[in-house]
Structure 1
Amino acid sequence: MSAPRKQIHLAAHFPGVNNTTVWSDPAAGSHIEFESFVHMARTAERAKFDLFFLAEGLRLREQGGLIHDLDVVGRPDTFAVLSALAAVTGRLGLTGTINSTFNEPYEVARQFASLDHLSDGRAGWNVVTSWDAFTGENFRRGGFLPEQDRYERARSFLSAASLLFDSWRTGDVAVDVDAGRFLSRAGAGDFAYRDRHFDISGRFDVPRSPQGRPVVLQAGDSEEGREFAAASADAIFTRHATLDAGREFYADVKGRLAAHGRRPEDLVVLPAATFVLGDTDADAEEKAALVRRQQVSGRTAILTAEQLWNRDLSAYDPDGPLPEVDPIPGENTVARGRASTRMHRDPVATAHRWRELAEAKGLSLRELVIEVSGRQTFVGSARTVADTIDDLVQRDAADGFILVPHVTPGGLDEFADTVVPLLQERGAFRADYEGPTLRHHLGLRTDSGRHRERGAG
């Protein structure tokens, strides 16, 4: 008797805070009007997706001292959007990115516990860190935190927040991380937590929510990020969406769980993925090439190159050769507030690789940027894309995918109407929701004291 098919998890990423959105498309709509959020969330729920995901930026991005006009400028607050969506959806998970560097555990725990109540157990928290002083200028705390300490604060932040979530279950709780002590007394909602980052005590004023605590998501590919996810996250976002890279990442993070007393099924691996669909594979490939040229205009190509070269390249022709000068090493002073400014560990070596690739393939600067920044994961007919997604999941390259459409807000519609039914036909994706909470959707244990116990040292 053959084993049952591994079930695929699907999530919807609201486009905008990334470089994949095509705002010039006639079908593109607002990234601020509430109807845009409603449209995509209802499409995802109609297709029985696990969750809807909102990214977040804490400062407007700049390049050359000016607002980066090829990126999203502003977005409504994450909690406001997700709380409003709770009223117009019934089963879809509602997850958002909230920073652990420039917030406080009590405030964030209170907001997520409230969202979990308002949504009847559908809240999810993508825990991220920030270390740059540019973003920190918006906060009293400023850019004080060295990069190497950001995950330590994140772990402490999550332990403190989890203590608050659990305080209505365990009664009065106290943790002294430095002394390695955990105390439990009769009561409801009282807490105390102390380590080098936090010294807080009081009474948590939101009763235990339907999930007990929100689902914790994490995005990070570094050694610290993988270990943080293995110890503390319920799901991890990754950029590794191809078979070989996906299987390597999947085996690595799943292999870390046992050291933290966890099972492989306690962490869901979800690569981010884009898609272009067509009536045939050839039709999809033609559309994909057009989308890539829409995503990378000549101006976008120059700005992207400036982020690597760390210098003004406005005098260069995007349809000409790459700059012969090397990037300026050290802190990136051209582009600020963008994750891409930290992606190139060795800019000079990267520039050399780009030149070699451009020479070998006869690529202009714009064509090179299209080549190296391409993020079209699934391209083909609906059946081809369904086959590919199913194959990657069944072969343990992922547990599912976070889909990032290139058009807002209707870019998910075609996938929901054509690919999802094919996955359902083969028994690899749910025909309906089987439980009320996000933990049910992701196949996670619904109640666990592991964060509290680990936080006690």
Structure 2
Amino acid sequence: MTIRKRMHLAAHFPGVNNTTVWSDPRAGSQIDFSSFEHLARVAERGLFDFFFLAEGLRLREHKGRLHDLDVVGRPESVTVLNALAAVTERLGLAATVNATFNEPYELARRLASLDHLSGGRAAWNVVTSSDAFTGENFRRGGYLDRADRYTRAAEFVATAREIWDSWTPDGTPRPFSHHGRHFSVSGTFDVPRSPQGHPVVIQAGDSEEGREFAASAADVIFTRHGTLEAGRAFYADVKGRLAAYGRRPEELKIMPGVTFVLGDTAAEAQEKADVIREQQVSPQTAILTLEQVWGRDLSAYDPDGPLPDVDPDPQGRQTQGRVPLGDPFAVAAKWRALSEAKGLSIRQTVIEATGRQSFIGTPRQVAARMEEFVTEEAADGFILVPHLTPGGLDDFVERVVPLLQERGAFRTEYSGSTLRDHLGLPLPVWKG
């Protein structure tokens, strides 16, 4: 009898990205608690491992004005998850919190509190920033060089773990003391050890530094590799780094962020996907995206016309608070080649070049394709990013999850109560 490898699933609350469709009549509030609650309850009904919240520390700007695709008024992530802990029972609760503009003791305390209130279901998605624009919101400012982001983040995670480990497994508090390059802290922690030892650590980053950081310190890595080939290469690379840190492959779960579109037939699903992409990239969004690459004001260009014949301005910065799409000359050359080969307009080029729809087809086709990624070691599971708030996950849970269960590729019930139980992660070894 063949034993299938079971996948892990998580739900990403949509928002600050090029995936969300704001104009759909079914789209709801991005900030009302009812929206967070709906998506979380659906994810738990689908037996997902965790609910994932992204977060930004400053509203992005484009040409000096608020970015049209940003969310104004989004509540702070850990606060939302504490509220969700009261309306869910098993679902993991993952908060994105920046390691550049926070401090270890304060954050360790907030996350340990969430871990206790939820019965051991907390996770921390560690992100970094070297952006001086974001840093203007903080006393320290954006002084960190890009190369220092991960050294601070690695020490931050290590310090937080030292603080969590200052309580013994039998419930005895002991003083902690850490003195390093970025942090010098000591004292006694006031939150006992949680049911899962300490929160699960998630890391999002595909750079060389990010991969090494994930191999050394993360329990889950959130990636963007949408193709089977790219996923297998990334999976082998990151898993291959674990031994250097005394870790086994199963101690790090690789979960790419993916989208999905379902239809009763493959043709219907593709038609829906095409419509969604047009909704995601309006004419205005197409020009805005192009300006991020070209570093120039391109508002005079027709989104239904050809790409600009001028070169990018590498010193130009139209958007603040958003990660650049890459080397502007390389991206522009790639987009020009795509446009010329297929006769695409600006909007059509942006739609095709920035598309993130990973799984398109009937529920049975999507279930089979997802299982293939896991079986072929391109992923351990997926973080689903729906295009609608808050009901974008409903169809997947109703139509795809039962098929994954039928195939033996996904759980039929929760076997434990903590997030580490769901992910099959061992309890952290106490290092008191």
Common fold: TM-score over 0.5:
yes
Letter in 2 for 1:257: L
Aligned residue pairs: how many?
432
Contact 1:170 1:188 in 2 (8 A): no
**Helix, strand or coil at the partner of 1:169:** coil
Matching of residue 352 in structure 1 with residue 351 in structure 2: no
Q: Distance in 2 between matches of 1:68 and 1:412?
A: 26
Matching of residue 287 in structure 1 with residue 268 in structure 2: no
Letter in 1 for 2:95: G
5 Å-filtered alignment, 1:205-244, equals 205-244=190-229
Letter in 2 for 1:239: R
Match of 1:153 in 2: 152
5 Å-filtered alignment, 1:101-116, equals 101-116=100-115
Contact 1:241 1:397 in 2 (8 A): no
5 Å-filtered alignment, 1:1-400, equals 1-2=1-2, 4-169=3-168, 188-330=173-315, 332-339=316-323, 341=324, 343-344=325-326, 346-400=327-381
Match of 1:445 in 2: 426
Supply the RMSD in Å over aligned alpha carbons: 1.3
Q: Distance in 2 between matches of 1:171 and 1:134?
A: 45
Task: Specify whether residues 421 and 333 from structure 1 end up closer, same or farther in structure 2 by C-alpha distance, changes over 3 A only.
Answer: same
Letter in 2 for 1:412: L
**Helix, strand or coil at the partner of 2:166:** helix
**Helix, strand or coil at the partner of 2:165:** helix
- Residue segments in structure 2 that go unaligned for 5+ positions in a row: none
**Helix, strand or coil at the partner of 1:145:** coil
Contact 1:60 1:74 in 2 (8 A): no
Match of 1:178 in 2: none
Letter in 2 for 1:262: R
**Helix, strand or coil at the partner of 1:410:** coil
Q: Distance in 1 between matches of 2:174 and 2:423?
A: 28
**Helix, strand or coil at the partner of 1:407:** coil
Q: Distance in 2 between matches of 1:170 and 1:434?
A: 23
Letter in 1 for 2:376: R
Contact 2:226 2:356 in 1 (8 A): no
**Helix, strand or coil at the partner of 1:32:** coil
Letter in 1 for 2:74: R
Q: Spell out, residue by residue over 1:44-94, the C-alpha distance to the aligned partner (whole angstroms, 9 max, x if none).
A: 000000000000000001000000123322310111100000000000000
**Helix, strand or coil at the partner of 2:234:** helix
**Helix, strand or coil at the partner of 1:422:** helix
TM-score (norm 2): 0.98
Q: Distance in 1 between matches of 2:35 and 2:56?
A: 18
Contact 1:100 1:128 in 2 (8 A): yes
TM-score (norm 1): 0.93
- Residue segments in structure 1 that go unaligned for 5+ positions in a row: 173-186
Q: CA deviation at 1:242?
A: 1.4
Q: Distance in 1 between matches of 2:264 and 2:271?
A: 11
Q: CA deviation at 1:241?
A: 2.4
Identity of aligned residues (%): 67
Letter in 2 for 1:415: F
